[in-house]
A and B are shown apart, each in its own frame.
Chain A
Amino acid sequence: MQSFTNKEQVIADAGSVTIHSGNILHKILRTSQEICQSFCGTVKQWTADKSEIPSITTQCSHGGVFINNEKDTEWSKERNRDDIKLTVKLFLWKNDAEIVKEAVLTVIDYYQCEKIDLLLLSLPPTSNCPHNTFRSVKYQDIREVWIQLCNLAADGFITELGVCDMDEPSLKDICESSDVKPVANQINLQECCHPPKNLSAYASEHHIKLLTHNDPNDVLPEDTLQFVLPASDKNRSWKPCYLTRYSAVIRLREIVMLKGYFLCMKATKES
């Protein structure tokens, strides 16, 4: 247990760091840079706070540091779990199945909320068309990640699975290759005012909801990363592993209760 240690040193020594933005619902009203603003000052506030670092819980079981400033978690004040819909969008930088499990369990453990109702998987842009908002993927490439998610679903941690930015062939490939089919495909409405016809048709035929998002291709550009957690020395830099955005909405009243992010980064040595 480290107490009164220089928290900055803790971060500098850590192999990985998971930062929780806290409930940003009220914080982000006046800004357009949501992700950036959500983490604004989070690390600074944590290092400035002289209280003890709580013992590492399961979320960072590989020895990472959990940076969080929220004192109490607002979840489920006299509310039934069934009255709330928790949607989590998982942004990955690599197709890493282990990371997926950690990302999912972090949210559930933090809020003690049993499960995620809808998990949307967002893969990094494919190298062949990085600027295209639609991803063109083959199921084979994402198989491990998808199976991991299906296992988590089978274990009761996720109710429904969805994907993001899939074009029609990719969506078709997943649906035909996996027993568990995505229930939703979340696409970017800014770039395309109307979804491509083949995608709409396929989604409609297979009862896949087309949802919308406004996230850019590069959801965590370099300068945002530096802003959130600057590298402490020249030989190390932080690389993102995953970013989850969660949103808890009261069903049938459509009132948002919570919104926030978890960002996990690994330290890499520059050679």
Chain B
Amino acid sequence: MGILEYDGESLNWNEIKLYAKYVKKHGIVQFLNNYQRLLERPVDILKWGDEVEYMVIRFDHKNRKVQLSLRGDAICNILQEKENSGIVNLPSSWRHEYASHMLEGTPGVPYQGDMAQFKYVESNMEMRRKEIQELLQPNEQIMTLTAFPRLGCFNYTNPSYKADSAKSNQICQSLFIPNEAIGSHPRFLCLERSIRERRGERVSINIPIFKDTSTPSPFIEKFNDPEANQAAKPDHIYMDSTSFGFGNCCLQITIQGSNMDETKLLYDQLAPVCPIVMALSAAAPIWRGYLADVDVRWPVIEQGVDDRTREERGLEPLVNNERVIRRPRFGSINSYLHKESRKFNDVAIEIDLETKYTLLDAGVDQLLAQHIAHLWMRDPLTLFTNNIEVDDKKVTDHFENIQTTNWHSLRFKPPPPGSDIGWRVEFRVCEVQLTDFENAAFSVFVVLLTRVILTYNLDFCIPLSYVHTNMTKAQKNNAINLEKFYFRSNIVSCCCRNSDCKNHIISDDESLTEEHFQKMSINTIINGKKDVFPGFILLIQKYLGSVDVDIDTRLKINEYLDFISNRASGDYMTAAQWMRHFVTSHPEYKQDSVVSDSIAYDLLVRCDQIQKSKVKCYQLFKTAA
């Protein structure tokens, strides 16, 4: 997550504040130095990669308890030894993550734009898992679990540490998360502290609790802490640290476009796809030991990194801050980038005007200038003493500083200097799934979708406000089966000359009406419905019929498409729904939304068995024998 090289001491928020303008200004200078060079960049081939986050779990079988093992950092250090010694083209690559129970792995070398590569994705993921497994201690397991169900509960870590919000000299001042749970890399400690210090109080995350028959109504927890009692909402699960959000695991996919224009196009086209994939991959229904009424990690992170002050949140009159800011720095994208979708930018956004004019003057187009100026509205949250004065021509540290502390559903990534990496779009909404099969399926599905979009000139764009609505819907309990999402009906831009043809791309002066988009279920969007929508699966199959694919690759892809198709139709459950089902049918469950230590233990034992294929969970998926 973000740039991890650093030099010097980390600054606290009051010190960072003094450099905020400096960092932002130089960030733009660095971007522009790079930008002029990038305009002449030759056409790039498709390259892509996945990033999988893992958590280290520790089982205490005797006492039927499961904890997070805080050895993620230490394991990552060992795994990085090869890379750090200068060996290149390794099969895997490793990064530290926010919480010390986590680590992140990627393929060592990106996949190239050749259909045959799709059959290697899953085996690379399996190999990464094995690499970690070799370094585990007895009773430790590695899991690709989106959210640890007892995160923040008593004694949830191993080794065990006490969370104590009263210790004001600690970086993490949460009631639930001990300091040691945050990764040892200074960037993460810095983030935890800066977010709180800038905000002026602890973050307050409130997630609606799932109301079962015996759940207290209203559900109110009393804490030994006035700030918490004030911030905790009734009928919600209250959490008070950025760690609750960033201590989750996700699956990210980065795709290289052939040039800046194509990358912008992919960014725009993937935006309406984000809520769909979020609902399909939902895997986080349990928070701090309670069943929630949401199925995904998204709202937890959104609220967990909210560094806006009370004034910026509109709770107090503006005295020390410039303006009210509508949204936190984590969330859905707020504007389309490609000129063809400009008319759908109907979400009001705050921007840093100075940045915008600097970019426009330098020849950057209106939409990109607006997008960057919107990111630049945020302050830097981390800074190191020896990383302040840098050569703006050679590095883009300050640019990356602001760029990587805006966490959106997609990230538009310019090529870094000194490398042959091109323009990329990062797809960030997918929850990580329990098994490598499922993670490979989602990765391949998204990448294939981009090929289909480019081949058939598809247009999924609808007004961004509707995408925002979809993102909210996608988070809900069982959204995949119960919710309907706004989606564009006429996605094929037509080449015919018939002006009455409904398939035409909507012109600038036309407004998008209900004729052009409608509410559809996930099943319709993925599997299609006669006379309504062709369905992503059909489009991908059509595409595959036009390229040369060898049998092994085709069989693998078919497995992945069947899996996605069955998820969408409800034949398979999402991990979130399956976990709910597991909890609510557990003999010790008391219909009170509580996921006790022993229920969590049984749940994770089962998850582990599923991942190792020791148990076949047909509710989740079947694989070919």
Contacts and interface: CB of A to CB of B under 8 A. Distances in A.
Contacts of A254: 46, 113-115, 451, 547
Interface string B551-570: 11011001000000000000
A184 B116 CA distance: 14
Contact of A212 (B45, B457, B495, B549): B549
B258 interface: yes
Contact of A211 (B114, B493, B551): B551
Interface in A214-271: 214, 247, 249, 251-256, 259
Contact of A253 (B113, B492, B555, B558): B113
Interface stretch (B17-25, B337-345, B402-410, B538-546): B538-546
B542 A249 contact: no
A209 interface: yes
Given A187-B551, A259-B546, A252 B456 contact: no
Contact of A189 (B456, B548, B551): B551
A255 B258 CA distance: 11
Contacts of B539: 29
Given A26-B495, A28-B542, A29-B542, A252 B548 contact: no
B114 A29 contact: no
A256 B114 contact: no
B334 to A, nearest CB: 29
A222 to B, nearest CB: 24
A85 B454 CA distance: 17
B494 interface: yes
A247 B546 contact: yes
Interface in B234-281: 258
B547 A249 contact: yes
B495 A256 contact: no
Contacts of B114: 252, 254
B456 A253 contact: no
Interface residues of B, number: 32
Contacts of A137: none
A259 B547 CA distance: 10
A210 B45 contact: no
Interface in A56-109: 85, 87
B534 interface: yes
Contact of A255 (B454, B548, B549, B624): B454
Contact of B112 (A210, A212, A252): A252
A182 B115 CA distance: 20
A256 B547 contact: yes
B46 A189 contact: no
B113 A211 contact: no
Contacts of A251: 45, 113
A25 B549 contact: no
A197 interface: no
B548 A211 contact: yes
Given A194-B555, A253-B113, A254-B46, A26 B494 contact: yes
B539 to A, nearest CB: 7
B44 to A, nearest CB: 9
5 contacts: A26-B456, A26-B457, A26-B495, A189-B554, A256-B543
Q: Which 7 A-B pairs have the closest CB atoms?
A: A252-B45, A252-B113, A210-B551, A256-B455, A256-B546, A255-B454, A212-B554
Given A25-B546, A29-B456, A209-B550, 16 more contacts: A25-B455, A29-B539, A85-B548, A189-B551, A189-B558, A193-B555, A211-B548, A249-B546, A249-B547, A249-B548, A251-B113, A252-B45, A253-B46, A253-B454, A254-B46, A256-B546
